[in-house]
Structure 1
Amino acid sequence: MSEAQFFPFMADYATDPTSRAHRGATIYRLLTGVYPLEADISSDRNFDRHVLASILAAAAIDGGPIPKNVGLPGRELAALLEDYFPAVAIKADNGLLHFMCEQDDEVAMIGDLLLERRSTEGKLSGWLAAMVARRAIEPNHLWEDLGLGDRGELSRLLSRHFASLAARNINNMRWKRFIYRTLCENDGLLMCTTPVCTQCNDFNVCFGDESGESRMAERRREVVRQAPGPDIDNRDV
């Protein structure tokens, strides 16, 4: 199941090689009505919706089945879209509703950790636990693979929905590194051989800079650079 099948309104973009570079920002806009940097995320509800749209957009530009990329069975993903993006027409056929995700042990362990520490009630925190866990096995900074604008948005997400876990990161360790370290500690394992972080050769791996340009903004800029003429919509997203 492709992103075009899951998001039928994206069909016109599926075979357009130029639009692939900024598909993430485009999908975000089609879900929410605005580009990511135009979004008002001042309220918790708007922020949650921003997070979900960001993850869906990041999953779509990765290619392949979106349920698999976000770690949610098709029926759960359809319910999420109905709750948070009701204006979007979703093709809820049997292929979508019965799509099941094969979850590996690593994703399951991260998901269980998040579920144990969730601080908000309802379906959303369960969906986010699964989605964050799945995106955590991607190779980039966690905030990047969630499609978020920066590390601060990830910190806000974790502090809001998984507060007790976020509160333990008192030394501002990189979030992905912190999550894996927490898993090891919970199992009685030692992730590090150096008792003091400042004496470790891998200090920058855990505590180094996590800034940078978001993937969607980077892709949008790429399109602007490659545009053949002045007619391209060059809004910075």
Structure 2
Amino acid sequence: MSEPHVRPFVAACAVDANSQLHMGITTYRLLTGVPPADADIANDSNLDRHVLASILAAATMDGGSLPEKVGLSVVELAALLEQYFPSTEIKAAEQASPFRSEEDEEIVLLRDLLLKQRSTEGDIGRWLAAMIARRAIEPDHLWEALGLRNRGELSLLLSRHFAPLAARNVNNMRWKRFFYRMLCENEGLGMCTTPVCTQCNDFNICFGEESGESRMAERRRDLLLQAAAWPAMASGRAFEMPGESATAPSSEEASPDLEAARVG
């Protein structure tokens, strides 16, 4: 699959161009044939497809250039789609303009860290390193920025494809915070104000709860509220969103050093 096959994917994801609320679920279903809530990740192959589809779905919800939002070139994205989502709908189309990304130093550092800690063979580890590094600069929890249903799926992903690095997070630190801590240690920089984490004022920032609704589940809640207020606008539409949690969405207080490191 080459560059000409990327534009149909982007166009197909924009089935309802007037609503960002529908974009993620539409993209995921186009790629996998099922709604995110029904994704079966019981084996490694299914987990990989679910993760890739989730990242692509989250990126389409953000709008803008899809290759840029996922951290891949047009050629890399085309190869990923051909290998994991060989859909005839996605293939039937016209050319896409080549995308050339400017190397962001922060993204490059995290991507290289992940690449050095790969534990699987093939292209997927390389693609995921780039995708995770790009999505990590988004303000959400990392699992949310990747479009996953919960933090546990992110831990499974990292343990499968970046096992040596994942194994170092022995205290279950938030993954984005943990990545930046590893980068600081590699550069010989100090990130912590105290030698013991339990004595640190930023303890909740590093180890606080990361549960809550996924981004697409939040969109479903918003959609239902809109449907209640404007039933005419929602008539004849049915939407299924990924797994929802009974708990309320979590929030994070920003701290100066957290904001500087983009570990929201």
State TM-score, norm by structure 2.
0.83
1:89, distance to aligned residue in structure 2 (A): 1.6
Aligned pair 1:41/2:41, yes or no? Answer: yes
Q: Which runs of 5+ in 2 are unaligned?
A: 1-5, 243-264
CA distance in 2, matches of 1:75, 1:44: 25
Uncovered stretches (5+) of structure 1, i.e. residues with no partner: none
In structure 1, what is the equivalent of residue 117 of structure 2? Answer: 117
Name the CA shift for 1:211/1:4 in 2 (closer, same or farther; >3 Å). farther
Does 2:73 match 1:78?
A: no
Q: Secondary structure at the match of 2:90?
A: coil
Cα deviation code 1:62-92 (max 9, x no counterpart): 0110100000000000000011110142446
Matches within 5 A, 1:12-51: 12-14=15-17, 16-17=18-19, 20-51=20-51
2:95 equivalent in structure 1 = 93
Please give the residue correspondences for 1:219-230 in structure 2 after superposition, counting only pairs within 5 Å. Answer: 219-227=219-227, 228=231
Q: Distance in 2 between matches of 1:57 and 1:215?
A: 10
Check conservation: 2:7, 2:96, Cα contact below 8 A. no
Contact 2:16 2:22 in 1 (8 A): no
Query: Does structure 2 retain, via aligned residues, the 8 Å contact 1:181–1:191?
Result: yes
- % same residue: 63
1:89 partner letter: I
Aligned length: 230
Kept in 1: contact 2:7–2:94 (CA 8 A): no
The 3 A distance-change label for structure 1 pair 94 and 8 is closer
User: 1:45 and 1:192 mapped to 2: Cα distance?
Assistant: 38
Question: 1:234 Cα deviation (Å)?
Answer: 4.8
Measure, in 2, the Cα distance between the counterparts of 1:94 and 1:128. 22
Question: Partners of 1:178 and 1:65 in 2: how far apart?
Answer: 28
Is the partner of 1:72 in helix, strand or coil? coil
Deviations 1:14-33 (CA, angstroms, capped at 9, x unpaired)? 2x23xx21311121111111
Q: Deviations over 1:7-48 (max 9, x none)?
A: 22234312x23xx21311121111111111111111111110
d(CA) in 1 for partners of 2:23 and 2:7?
11
Is 1:233 matched up with 2:238? Answer: yes
Distance 1:4 1:139 in 2: 27
Q: Following the alignment from structure 2 to structure 1, what is the Cα–Cα distance between the partners of residues 239 and 112?
A: 42
- Cα distance change, pair 92–155 in 1 and its aligned pair in 2 (3 A): farther
- Cα separation, partners in 2 of 1:128 and 1:203, compared to 1, 3 Å: same
Equivalent pair of 1:4/1:10 in contact (CA under 8 Å): no
Query: C-alpha displacement at 1:232, in angstroms?
Result: 3.0
1:150 maps to 150
Aligned Cα root-mean-square deviation (Å): 1.7
In the alignment, which residue of structure 1 is the partner of 2:260? none
**8 Å contact from structure 2 (residues 32, 53) kept in 1:** yes
